[in-house]
Amino acid sequence: MSTKSMSGIAGIIVLFSAMLLSPLVAAQAAGLPDFTELVEKVGPAVVNISTSQKIKHKKIPQPQGRGEMPEMPEDSPFGDLFKHFFGDPNGGGMDEFNTQSLGSGFIIDANGYVLTNHHVVKDASEIVVRLNDRRELKAKVIGSDARSDIALLKIDASNLPTLKLGNAEKEKVGEWVMAIGSPFGFDHSVSVGVISAKGRSLPSENYVPFIQTDVAINPGNSGGPLFNLQGEVIGINSQIYTRSGGFMGLSFAIPINVAMDVVKQIKDKGKVTRGWLGILIQDVNRELAESFGMDKPMGAAVLRVIDESPAEKAGFKVGDVVIEFDGKMIHHSSDLPLAVGTTPIDKKVKVKIIRDGKPASLAVKVAELPAEEQLAGRGADADNETKPAELDKLGMAVDELPPELRSREDVKKGGVVVSRIEDGAASEAGIHRGDIILKFNNQDVKGVAHFRDLVTALDKNKSVPVLVQRHRSPMYLPLKVPGE
């Protein structure tokens, strides 16, 4: 076949391919959402929030060698500057200066109720809300909740534009979303993306199932709304994950359902209450599930039961794995605080657990979550004699807990401290020198002699759960018993 014929055939193939692809490209382009009408519709109800805070610090005493500060008129604008340079001739005392910060919010009621983040208005001495029409109005805090990071503000205005609230639970991963806010002070900036995940739990937040998105969120966006394509608010932009201080593709929003429950409680009761069990929990991974005798990893492993808590009264024990609470499956440990927190106070609920590898049920009466300071640990009990350490077949040596360590770590009874660790099953499990072993193979550790008996009785090639405490934080570690 000639070169000319080959070129002709190639041209026909290219043309035919282009004809086939053109409708596909057009369809893909047509499928992308147009946000222009949405921005025009919802933009007027999004506001900018600026706050002022008064910060106190000690006055700088006048140092030696700088000379005396010149006398200045009382109303001189240079007085503070010279005081900073020469020092305060009176010395000591306190100075005040103002700092300012920016955030976002949105109007949920035509009579002036504005929703934003708690951290946007925390400790503010003055809050100013700037509307879309450039009016600036002072706001007062009606109520604020640190645990959910929600604050309800009120401005003196009426007939304001409002936003329609959606249902975050109905939204699906992969759906388009849009944010409007004031990143770095740039009012009414629009950014778009998709829902990356739902029900995310963050280390510092136990009562919010965050919506994760890849919408660009930066400082100043906090408190602003997250919209679906219908123009409904489905979340409040609250946090970002970053190593640089700026956007890195991981943004987190508080579901609007959670926020409005907080708003309702603030309006009705003036405060926010949550359910409480009184347990410290940990997620169950594959290795832990095996050591607990479970078929698959799920639930929340109980690390500690607080004295005189609803959980203690209901019979919860360390080592229980909560798999269902009031009819709700607990797939991850993060599911439990939310389920408990949204349960009405004094309601008696059924809890399904795994105890010693077998299913069981408990009935617990949910109490009100105490203030954080009320949850502080209490003192310890009697002393124990210290005995010499001896290396065991797991590659570690343990001692009795000295009184000062028992008191510092708030260990009420039992337990042993790891005094030496070498290569072996214990180190492979993640046990460290200085860890306190509280529970071993589902047995409370009563002391060194008891612990040695528990180790001796271990079956080969078996996985067992080990409850250790490290710097007052308990955790379960799965330990694989060696075969030889």
Which pLDDT band holds residue 205 (cuts at 50, 70, 90)?
Answer: low
Q: What is the pLDDT of residues 87-115, one digit of tens each?
A: 555 555 555 656 678 899 999 999 999 99
Question: Looking at per-residue confidence, does 127 or 424 come out higher?
Answer: 127
* Residue 465 in this model has a pLDDT that exceeds 80: yes
User: 164-269 belongs to which CATH class?
Assistant: mainly beta
E strand segments, 366-442: 367-368, 396-400, 416-421, 436-440
**382 CB-side CA count, 13 A:** 5
* Residue 46 in this model has a pLDDT that exceeds 70: yes
Average pLDDT over residues 398-412: 84
Indicate the range of 148-162, 172-186, 218-232, 360-374 predicted with least confidence: 360-374
**Residue 72 is encoded by which pair of tokens?**
């200045």
Average pLDDT over residues 371-384: 42
Question: Looking at per-residue confidence, does 300 or 69 come out higher?
Answer: 300
Average pLDDT over residues 161-179: 96
Residue 232 has a CB neighbour count (10 Å cut-off) of: 19
Contact 115, 84 (CB under 8 A): no
pLDDT at 12: 53
* Residue 412 in this model has a pLDDT that exceeds 80: yes
Average pLDDT over residues 255-280: 92
Across all residues in the chain, what is the average pLDDT? 82
Q: Provide the residue type at 5 as one letter.
A: S
Instruction: Give 248's contacts (C-beta < 8 A, 6+ positions apart).
Output: 240, 241, 242
Task: Write down the residue that tokens 């607080």 correspond to.
Answer: 306
Indicate the range of 246-260, 291-305, 354-368, 369-383 predicted with least confidence: 369-383
Which pLDDT band holds residue 397 (cuts at 50, 70, 90)?
Answer: confident
pLDDT at 459: 83
For 45-66+77-155, the fitting CATH number among 3.90.180.10, 2.40.10.10, 3.20.20.140, 2.130.10.10 is 2.40.10.10
By C-alpha distance, which of 442, 419, 415, 445 is closest to 432?
419
Which pLDDT band holds residue 306 (cuts at 50, 70, 90)?
Answer: confident
pLDDT at 325: 96
pLDDT at 65: 45
Contact 312, 276 (CB under 8 A): no
- 419, exposed or middle or buried, with CB in 10 Å at 0-12, 13-18, 19+? middle
* Residue 186 in this model has a pLDDT that exceeds 70: yes
Q: Provide the residue type at 190 as one letter.
A: V
- 481, exposed or middle or buried, with CB in 10 Å at 0-12, 13-18, 19+? middle
For 275-375, the fitting CATH number among 2.30.42.10, 1.10.260.40, 3.30.420.10, 1.10.238.10 is 2.30.42.10
By C-alpha distance, which of 68, 98, 102 is closest to 86?
68
pLDDT at 5: 53
By C-alpha distance, which of 195, 205, 246, 222 is closest to 103?
222
Indicate the range of 81-95, 101-115, 370-384, 456-470 predicted with least confidence: 370-384
Instruction: Give 440's contacts (C-beta < 8 A, 6+ positions apart).
Output: 451, 454, 455, 464, 466, 467
Q: Tell me how far apart the alpha carbons of residues 119 and 240 are, in angstroms, rounded to a whole number.
A: 13
* Residue 20 in this model has a pLDDT that exceeds 60: no
DSSP 207-276: EEEEEEE-S---TT-TT-EEE-TTSEEEEEEEEE--SSSS--S-EEEEEHHHHHHHHHHHHHHSS---EE
CATH number of 396-480: 2.30.42.10
pLDDT at 10: 52
Average pLDDT over residues 222-244: 91
Which pLDDT band holds residue 57 (cuts at 50, 70, 90)?
Answer: low
Q: What amino acid positions are annotated as catalytic residues?
A: 119, 149, 222
Q: Tell me how far apart the alpha carbons of residues 340 and 429 are, in angstroms, rounded to a whole number.
A: 31
Indicate the range of 268-277, 349-358, 418-427 predicted with least confidence: 418-427
Residue spans of the domains in the chain: they are 45-66+77-155, 164-269, 275-375, 396-480
Helices and strands in the chain: count of H runs, count of E runs: 11, 27
pLDDT at 88: 53
pLDDT at 92: 53
By C-alpha distance, which of 177, 255, 189 is closest to 220?
189
**92 CB-side CA count, 13 A:** 1
Angle, CA of 179, 160 and 182, to the nearest 5° = 30
Contact 226, 115 (CB under 8 A): no
Q: Provide the residue type at 210 as one letter.
A: F
By C-alpha distance, which of 201, 203, 263, 255 is closest to 225?
255
* Residue 386 in this model has a pLDDT that exceeds 50: no
Give strand pairing partners of 474. Answer: 469
Which pLDDT band holds residue 453 (cuts at 50, 70, 90)?
Answer: confident
Percent of the chain with pLDDT over 70: 78
pLDDT at 32: 80
**Residue 405 is encoded by which pair of tokens?**
């360590």
Q: Tell me how far apart the alpha carbons of residues 404 and 427 are, in angstroms, rounded to a whole number.
A: 25
Which pLDDT band holds residue 173 (cuts at 50, 70, 90)?
Answer: very high
Question: Looking at per-residue confidence, does 91 or 436 come out higher?
Answer: 436
Domains 45-66+77-155 and 164-269 share a fold: yes
By C-alpha distance, which of 238, 25, 297 is closest to 115?
238
